[in-house]
A and B are shown apart, each in its own frame.
Chain A
Amino acid sequence: MKLTWRIWILIIAIVFSIIAIRPTFKSGIIVTSIDQNSELLKQGLSTGEIIRSINGKEIKNKQDYALITKDLFTNNSEKRVDISTDRAEYTILANKSLDITIDSVPRTRIKTGLDLRGGARALVKPDAEITDAQLDDLVSISRNRLNVYGLSDVNIRGITDLSGEKFLLVEIAGATPADLQQLIGQQGKFEAKIGNQTVFIGGDRDVRDVCRNDATCAAVTSCSPSTSGYFCNFAFTIYLSEGAAQKHAAITKNLSLDNTGQYLSEPLILYIDESEVESLRISSGLQGQASTQISIQGSGSGGTQEEALKNTRAQMKKLQTILLTGSLPYKLSIVRLDTISPTLGEEFSYTIIIAALSSIIIVSLIILIRYRKIKSSLALLLTSFSEIIIILGVASFIGWNLDLPSIAGILATIGTGVDQQIVILDEASRSKTLSIKEKMKRALFVIMSAYLTGVVSLIPLYWAGAGLFKGFAITTIIGITAGVLITRPAFADIIKKIEG
């Protein structure tokens, strides 16, 4: 049987889609993020590398990785770690963790959204009217802040909706930190004051550098039981600019000593977003000194020692982040916050696949009963499947995250796709007076009209609701466009061959 060019186009489209989806059969774990201060990063490890083995032990899955790292870092002593990836070999000394995050090697390049994968999504609104350029600034500052904090699998976009309101959409895949709300919702205006005079503020004008991830200058210094559990202290060093140091000298010069004689009469008070977070005593030796190196202290607490330690570290990390990245230019409020459990997501994918398969089987059965033509019914089934493959292929190609609305869109497309193939089938078996070519032309007219109404009715959804439902519009438009341009003409040709 000679294939027509329309059928060839369908075959080529399917092949391209499969390449775009690229099912892989590799096992192992993939590096999803690397801490900015990590030795591995300096040695050239990059995200996307697949870890083959650690210290000669083969790593097949996440459990293997968890077991090996747990064994390695039982006591906090420094260990030599040999890591072999698909691209290179690395050797580092580490004592706590490898400072990387990992995940199983994805089987395909289909990206799933938060609804399916778990994660957090926040819609943040600046409290002031801002321009597009200002929104872009806000996006880049926020991204920087989250990266400094150690979150790298983050997607931040500026969004303008139908009524012209501007939002910041923050999406974090997988596990999310407990204090996400503070991290993105807080303006993070840091000020260090003595009395009512500001000594320095957060950001690179005053703070040249902040010691992080280096136990010699940033650590939890002590932990002790308290009335309601445990209480820990932390301290880390920051490096001030020359200007800030001079200011410190000028302000402290005129202060008197307190009654112990060891400290100055006024403390250095740290404010975040205008509320006091810490009050630090200034040792008398620093009076009038233009010191560029300052120790910042703070504390955290928790019910158990472990919890207190965790909270204290988080507290320290947050303060370091704010000091380093400075304040966001606007006050922000979180207007929508979703955190979705990964457990529910997995179950969800399973249910949807079952539902989609059952629907397709039911539809094929109905078609078979109605037309009693095995070949045509099979052709219809194949066309529907190829449509799903093309949608997934295009979605993978453009890197679109399939979320719940996107999946609803795919289901809708299969539905309308089947409908239109029925039009073709029926048109083909209708009155005998017309040539098969004329019949197909008529069928395609109906389909083209239905297509146009479909596309125009989806366009408003692209912007409505801060674009959260864009996925529906996108998958549906991909699906029905592929339908009209590729699968339906090919199906018409296949039917011509069968009926012809």
Chain B
Amino acid sequence: MQKKPNWYDKHYKLTMIIPLALLLFSLFYLINFTSKNGDVIYKDVSLTGGTTVTILDNRVNINDLEASLKAQFSDVALRKISDLRTGSQKGIIIETKSSAEDTKAALEKYLGYNLTQDNSSTEFSGSALSTGFYKQLRLAIILAFTFMAIVVFFVFRTFVPSFAVILSAFADIIMTITIVDLFRMYVSLAGIIAFLMLIGYSVDTDILLTSRLLKRGDETMNKAIYGAFKTGMTMTLTAIASISVSLILIYHFSDVLRQIFTILLIGLGFDILNTWLTNAPLLRWYLDAKESKK
């Protein structure tokens, strides 16, 4: 029984143009970005070295404080943290590349009281150490990606399907970095970990798709892809839903988790694109070619 080929059967290869164009744009953008900024991302003080002070003060005005600190620390950045229930100001986060002593002294002068452990948190990180951390975490991501690739090859033992999975994960990360840069997000140590989490999240759906298609038995190709699509989309959408809810709740509370969740959300969005418009057609192309050889 030969079914009439539908639109997808005829043109599925064309769908790859969209992610491919995006990937090329991203690569081009990132190469350009790196040559201009010396690195592939904007780094915050946790990666360059510097001080983060969180003061628990619900009265001080953030704009006045910023104006006062700007005079002494040109690179200072301030953010407000607010209460989850009432939305009122709970405190302010101050970030600068200066030392903890200088930053605290300036703050104490402005606030008119001493900063103690009861009313503030301070994080200081030396610049050599931070740069070292950054290099190591970058290496950790590269290693993680390599290990992941090896396992994928080991599991599927065929080149094209494995390559499609890895390409899709690679595209996820590259596109996510591009968006992060376009939004001028300053990535923290935690943000780097989010990229690591992304490796795990993005290969899940790809592995599902690949194993469903490779072992599809007497199912038609489209049916297998559609079945995997239904499962995979449920997976990704539930992840997106749960992360969005968490993101909304912690948005004004924790910088660390906010960045992790934001990066994951962007990544999961691209994962939909790359799994179903890059990995799926590539895999189908390979299987079609293999079958027509028979």
* A interface residues, Cβ below 8 angstroms from B: 118, 120, 123, 125, 161-163, 165, 175-176, 333-344, 347-348, 350-352, 354-356, 358-360, 362-363, 366-367, 370, 404-405, 408, 411-412, 414-416, 418-420, 422-423, 426-427, 430-431, 433-434, 442, 445-446, 449-450, 452-454, 456-461, 463-466, 468-469, 472
Per the bound structure, the CA–CA distance linking A113 and B205 in Å amounts to 33
How far in angstroms is the closest Cβ of chain A from B168?
13
Tell me whether chain B's interface is mostly helix, strand or loop, or mixed: helix
Q: A339-B121, A453-B152 are in contact. Are A359 and B200 (CB under 8 A)?
A: no
Q: A465-B137, A469-B189 are in contact. Are A419 and B239 (CB under 8 A)?
A: yes
Q: Within 8 Å of chain A (Cβ to Cβ): is B10?
A: no
* B139 engages A412 (CB within 8 Å): no
Indicate which residue in A370, A427, A452, A472 contacts B151 across the interface (CB closer than 8 Å): A452
* B201 engages A415 (CB within 8 Å): yes
Smallest CB-CB separation from A419: which chain B residue?
B235
* A163 engages B147 (CB within 8 Å): no
Tell me whether chain A's interface is mostly helix, strand or loop, or mixed: helix
Sample of 20 further A-B pairs with CB below 8 A, known A162-B140, A405-B190, A469-B137: A161-B136, A338-B122, A341-B54, A347-B253, A355-B246, A356-B246, A359-B245, A362-B238, A363-B241, A408-B260, A412-B200, A419-B204, A419-B235, A422-B235, A422-B238, A430-B227, A446-B208, A452-B151, A453-B151, A453-B203
Per the bound structure, the CA–CA distance linking A430 and B219 in Å amounts to 11
Smallest CB-CB separation from A461: which chain B residue?
B140
Q: Within 8 Å of chain A (Cβ to Cβ): is B62?
A: no
How many residues of chain B are within 8 Å of chain A by beta carbon?
75
* B242 engages A359 (CB within 8 Å): yes
* A339 engages B211 (CB within 8 Å): no
Q: Within 8 Å of chain A (Cβ to Cβ): is B84?
A: yes
Per the bound structure, the CA–CA distance linking A408 and B262 in Å amounts to 13
Q: Within 8 Å of chain A (Cβ to Cβ): is B78?
A: no
Q: Which residues of A contact B219 (CB under 8 A)?
A: 431
* B121 engages A340 (CB within 8 Å): yes
Q: Within 8 Å of chain A (Cβ to Cβ): is B61?
A: no
* A423 engages B231 (CB within 8 Å): yes
Q: Which residues of B contact A120 (CB under 8 A)?
A: 117
Per the bound structure, the CA–CA distance linking A407 and B136 in Å amounts to 22
Stretch in B31-39, B175-183, B191-199 with 4+ CB within 8 Å of A? B191-199
How far in angstroms is the closest Cβ of chain A from B119?
7
Q: Within 8 Å of chain A (Cβ to Cβ): is B215?
A: yes
Q: Within 8 Å of chain A (Cβ to Cβ): is B15?
A: no
Indicate which residue in B126, B201, B237 contacts A335 across the interface (CB closer than 8 Å): B126
Smallest CB-CB separation from A380: which chain B residue?
B238
Smallest CB-CB separation from A161: which chain B residue?
B136
Per the bound structure, the CA–CA distance linking A335 and B82 in Å amounts to 30
Q: A355-B246, A416-B200 are in contact. Are A457 and B147 (CB under 8 A)?
A: yes
* B231 engages A422 (CB within 8 Å): yes
Per the bound structure, the CA–CA distance linking A466 and B207 in Å amounts to 32
* A336 engages B151 (CB within 8 Å): no
* A360 engages B234 (CB within 8 Å): no
Stretch in B17-25, B127-135, B275-283 with 4+ CB within 8 Å of A? B127-135
Interface set, chain B 226-240, CB cutoff 8 A to A: 227, 230-231, 234-235, 237-239
Indicate which residue in B154, B238, B257 contacts A418 across the interface (CB closer than 8 Å): B238
Q: A350-B84, A351-B84, A449-B151 are in contact. Are A362 and B241 (CB under 8 A)?
A: yes
Smallest CB-CB separation from A407: which chain B residue?
B257
Most B C-beta atoms less than 10 A away, residue of A352, A367, A422: A422
* B217 engages A461 (CB within 8 Å): no
Per the bound structure, the CA–CA distance linking A354 and B230 in Å amounts to 30
Q: Which residues of A contact B205 (CB under 8 A)?
A: 419
Q: Which residues of B contact A340 (CB under 8 A)?
A: 121, 123
Q: Within 8 Å of chain A (Cβ to Cβ): is B64?
A: no
Q: Within 8 Å of chain A (Cβ to Cβ): is B218?
A: yes
Indicate which residue in A123, A333, A416, A460 contacts B143 across the interface (CB closer than 8 Å): A460
How far in angstroms is the closest Cβ of chain A from B118?
6
* A453 engages B200 (CB within 8 Å): yes
Ordered nearest first, which 4 A-B pairs have the shortest CB separation? A456-B147, A457-B144, A359-B242, A460-B140
How far in angstroms is the closest Cβ of chain A from B212?
8
Most B C-beta atoms less than 10 A away, residue of A165, A362, A445, A453: A453
Q: Within 8 Å of chain A (Cβ to Cβ): is B249?
A: yes
Per the bound structure, the CA–CA distance linking A427 and B216 in Å amounts to 12
Smallest CB-CB separation from B165: which chain A residue?
A453
Indicate which residue in B84, B129, B193, B203 contacts A123 across the interface (CB closer than 8 Å): B129
Q: Within 8 Å of chain A (Cβ to Cβ): is B90?
A: yes
Q: A453-B151, A469-B193 are in contact. Are A422 and B254 (CB under 8 A)?
A: no
Q: A354-B249, A362-B242 are in contact. Are A165 and B132 (CB under 8 A)?
A: yes
Smallest CB-CB separation from B244: which chain A residue?
A362
Q: Which residues of B contact A454 (CB under 8 A)?
A: 200
Q: A341-B119, A363-B242, A370-B234 are in contact. Are A457 and B196 (CB under 8 A)?
A: yes
